Amino acid sequence: MNDVTEEYTMFEKNTLEGKFGIITGGTSGIGFAIAQFLIGLGAKISVTGRNEEKLAEAVEKLGPNSFGLAGDVRKSSDVNRNLEEHMAQFGRVDFLCNNAAGNFLCPLSEMSENAFKAVNDIVAMGSFLWSKAVYPHMCEQKQGCIINTGTTYAQSQAAYVGHSGAAKAAVLNLSRTMAVEWGPQGIRTNVIAPGPIEGTEGVQRLMGGEKMREKMFAMMPTPRMGQGWEIGAMVAFLLSDLGSYINGAYIPVDGGLHLAVPGLIPAGIKIPMPVTTA
């Protein structure tokens, strides 16, 4: 087990031993935190990323039970090649975490067609392409688990993130459809909706300064930032035998942020530069 898992987990250290999976957008932020936590429980994981330098750094940090896949989730040719590389390395795929994302703050009235399309291609199309790619392998195994990273505003609304909200809403519906269609083949599909996670680039760019955090905390039943390991722990639970009866669920891991007044990001804040984690 790694230091993070040893300190925070109640799982047995071999909970995910013999499990092999893929995490898209796993070189940083939430994706990296998930990979780190799962590897600490015995899983072996391939992480995807477009930046080969960042990919190599992530794999070095994650250790020998990780493998890097350089590719773009928006391109079926890259997805299929990456899956072949994963299978050559590990021989099977027990789970997939569709975590690759792109986001930035922008009013819909000022958003370009390309910007809207880029985020939806990374989030929605990427989740579709990777899920479709692993489906035959999971069918052959008669088991598999797909976990898609959603957002709390996929079912509500927030200013300046209409592109991301639309993409994540598509992923939510896609996930439930997959649960219905693929459940009989032993494949479970669920959605986790992380809240603001400390230290991630997305939070640094999207949450603004201390005033924005104070406003957000004032609306949260659990008024604090989340930690990456808390997302990893939820994913581990869903992948483990303890989560074997959970299929088609939407699970916020956000300190109750989804209960806040809709329209979280107020008008008038400074708009940061774009950030992606594909």
Distance, CA of 214 to CA of 234 (rounded, Å): 26
Ramachandran class of 91: left when φ > 0, alpha when ψ lies in -120 to 50, beta otherwise: left
Q: Check residues 256 and 231 and name the one with the higher pLDDT.
A: 231
**Beta strand residue intervals within the chain, DSSP E:** 20-23, 44-49, 66-70, 95-98, 102-103, 144-149, 187-194, 250-253, 275-276
**Highest-confidence range of 44-58, 97-111, 208-222, 262-276, by mean pLDDT?**
44-58
pLDDT at residue 270 in the model? 53
Catalytic residue of the set 8, 153, 160, 250: 153
Q: How confident is the model at residue 216 (pLDDT cuts 50, 70, 90)?
A: confident
Please state, rounded to an integer, the average pLDDT across all residues of the chain.
89
Q: Check residues 66 and 277 and name the one with the higher pLDDT.
A: 66
C-alpha Rg value of the chain to the nearest Å: 18
User: What percent of the chain clears pLDDT 70, i.e. is strictly above it?
Assistant: 87
DSSP 3-state percent helix, strand, coil across the chain (nearest 5) = 50, 15, 35
**Per-residue pLDDT at 226 exceeds 60:** yes
pLDDT at residue 1 in the model? 53
Helix (H, G, I), strand (E, B) or coil at 229: helix
Would you say 252 and 152 are in contact if contact means Cβ atoms under 8 Å apart? yes
Q: Could you read off the pLDDT of 176-193 as tens digits, one per residue?
A: 999 999 999 999 999 999
**Per-residue pLDDT at 245 exceeds 90:** yes
Q: Check residues 222 and 133 and name the one with the higher pLDDT.
A: 133
What's the whole-model pTM score? 0.89
pLDDT at residue 267 in the model? 45
CATH number of 3-256+272-276: 3.40.50.720
Q: Could you read off the pLDDT of 74-91 as tens digits, one per residue?
A: 999 999 999 999 999 999
**Residue 153 appears among annotated catalytic residues:** yes
Q: Check residues 133 and 158 and name the one with the higher pLDDT.
A: 133
Q: Tell me which of 42-46, 192-196, 209-213, 256-260 is least confident.
A: 209-213
Structural domain spans, the chain: 3-256+272-276
pLDDT at residue 200 in the model? 73
